[in-house]
């Protein structure tokens, strides 16, 4: 289907450009200290935003559903056990969410 | 551990070690993407090309869902562009560690994806270039490989929601975020980013809340002197 290929080309081109912009324009050089200070906090800001929108986000609003139970259980483990294996944290969230759905818990 | 025949590639080792658990999750999500994309009428090749070039899961899912639901090309591309807009500031944050000619910097920048960027972040704002590249290569292989499995007819797979896979990705971001919460500025930035994203989510198109949440890092511009 041509439509699909047009989307593949446009989305691919845009994403490649987005990712390359900073490194091509400023690459390999030290950034101004103020910018470095701000970018040092970019990871926690963006990761927290991705975490909460994917946990509570629904079409046009926020909901508390089985995902919150799963991610909540994973949060308890990740925050109390510093060296918890990443896969365990992920699998726990998926398992708790799946079981909660099976039991019809949470919305 | 360094065997001479592999010494050229030995710099990939740390990234492989940090990246493989994430790659399992990313590959597991590539399968439903490939299946959904083929189901949306894209054929078997275009979804794999998309995963290889775009290499950003949420935007690809959004674009393909919109196409599959009969949406326009503009709607699909617009949604994906907003979702991937965060890669402009993320790209800026890795710029100082990517050297060499411009084409090499542009190429290495393509290995930046949420997961490779997060594991390469040392928590104090510095980026470990080898981890970024090693994890990026592995994640790319996992994402493209998962997509390939999906288009090759993984129709026998159960519904991702039945498996709770929709909670796997926020949990992955949680696992990446947790080690970064050790300093007060990082905690404040995380709280600020979460608050901005939650406040905007009900009104703004998908992706915009994440781009806006990036602004929670701006107070860091005034903190430089206090950080070691």
Determine, yes or no, domain membership for A84. yes
Per residue in A85-100, pLDDT tens?
889 999 999 999 999 9
User: Cβ distance A7 to B193 under 8 Å?
Assistant: no
What's the total number of domains in chain A? 1
Confidence of residue B8 (pLDDT cuts 50, 70, 90): low
Residue B226 has pLDDT above 60, yes or no: no
B197 to A2, B38, B87, B187: CA distances (angstroms): 35, 31, 16, 15
Domain boundaries, position A104 = 64-107
Per residue in B58-106, pLDDT tens?
899 999 988 888 889 999 999 999 999 999 999 999 999 998 999 999 9
Q: Compute the count of residue pairs across chains A and B with CB atoms less than 8 Å apart.
A: 338
User: Cβ distance B197 to A13 under 8 Å?
Assistant: no
Q: Hey, is the C-beta of B73 within 8 angstroms of any chain A C-beta?
A: yes
Q: CB A50 to CB B170 under 8 A?
A: yes
Residue B127, beta-bridge partner list: B121
Query: Which pLDDT value is given to residue B39?
Result: 84
Distance of CA A37 to the CA centre of its chain: 22
ipTM: 0.91
Q: CB B193 to CB A49 under 8 A?
A: yes
Per residue in B105-143, pLDDT tens?
999 999 999 999 999 998 787 899 999 999 999 999 999
Q: Hey, is the C-beta of B176 within 8 angstroms of any chain A C-beta?
A: yes
Determine, yes or no, domain membership for A76. yes
Query: Which pLDDT value is given to residue B227?
Result: 47
Residue B55 has pLDDT above 50, yes or no: yes
Average pLDDT, chain B: 89
B219 to A51, B24, B187, B216: CA distances (angstroms): 21, 35, 12, 7
Quickly count: other Cβ atoms within 10 Å of residue B160's Cβ: 18
Contact residues, chain A, for B67 at CB < 8 Å: 3-4, 7
Helix, strand, or coil (residue B216): helix
Nearest-CB residue to B220 (from A41, A56, A90): A41
């Amino acid at each position: 289907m041509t439509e699909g290929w047009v989307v593949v080309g446009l989305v691919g081109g845009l994403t490649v450009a987005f990712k390359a912009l900073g490194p091509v324009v400023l690459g390999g050089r030290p950034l101004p200290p103020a910018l470095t200070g701000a970018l040092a906090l970019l990871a926690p800001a963006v990761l927290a935003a991705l975490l909460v929108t994917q946990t509570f986000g629904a079409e046009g609003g926020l909901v508390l559903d089985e995902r919150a139970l799963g991610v909540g259980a994973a949060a308890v483990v990740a925050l109390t056990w510093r060296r918890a294996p990443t896969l365990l944290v992920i699998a726990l969230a998926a398992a708790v969410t799946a079981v909660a759905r099976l039991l019809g818990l949470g919305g | 551990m360094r065997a001479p025949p592999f010494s050229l590639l030995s710099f990939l080792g740390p990234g492989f070690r940090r990246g493989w658990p994430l790659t399992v999750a990313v590959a597991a999500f590539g399968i439903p993407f490939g299946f959904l994309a083929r189901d949306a009428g894209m054929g078997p090749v275009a979804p794999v090309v998309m995963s290889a070039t775009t290499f950003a899961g949420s935007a690809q899912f959004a674009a393909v869902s919109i196409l599959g639901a009969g949406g326009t090309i503009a709607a699909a591309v617009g949604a994906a562009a907003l979702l991937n807009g965060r890669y402009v500031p993320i790209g800026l944050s890795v710029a100082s560690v990517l050297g060499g000619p411009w084409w090499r910097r542009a190429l290495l920048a393509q290995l930046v994806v949420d997961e490779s960027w997060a594991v390469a972040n040392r928590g104090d704002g510095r980026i470990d270039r080898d981890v970024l590249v090693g994890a990026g290569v592995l994640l790319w292989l996992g994402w493209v490989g998962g997509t390939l499995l999906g288009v090759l007819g993984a129709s026998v797979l159960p519904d991702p929601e039945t498996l709770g896979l929709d909670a796997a990705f926020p949990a992955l971001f949680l696992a990446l975020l947790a080690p970064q919460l050790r300093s007060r500025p990082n905690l404040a930035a995380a709280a600020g980013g979460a608050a901005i994203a939650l406040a905007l989510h009900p009104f703004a198109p998908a992706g915009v809340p994440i781009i806006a949440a990036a602004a929670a890092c701006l107070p860091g511009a005034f903190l430089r002197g206090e950080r070691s």
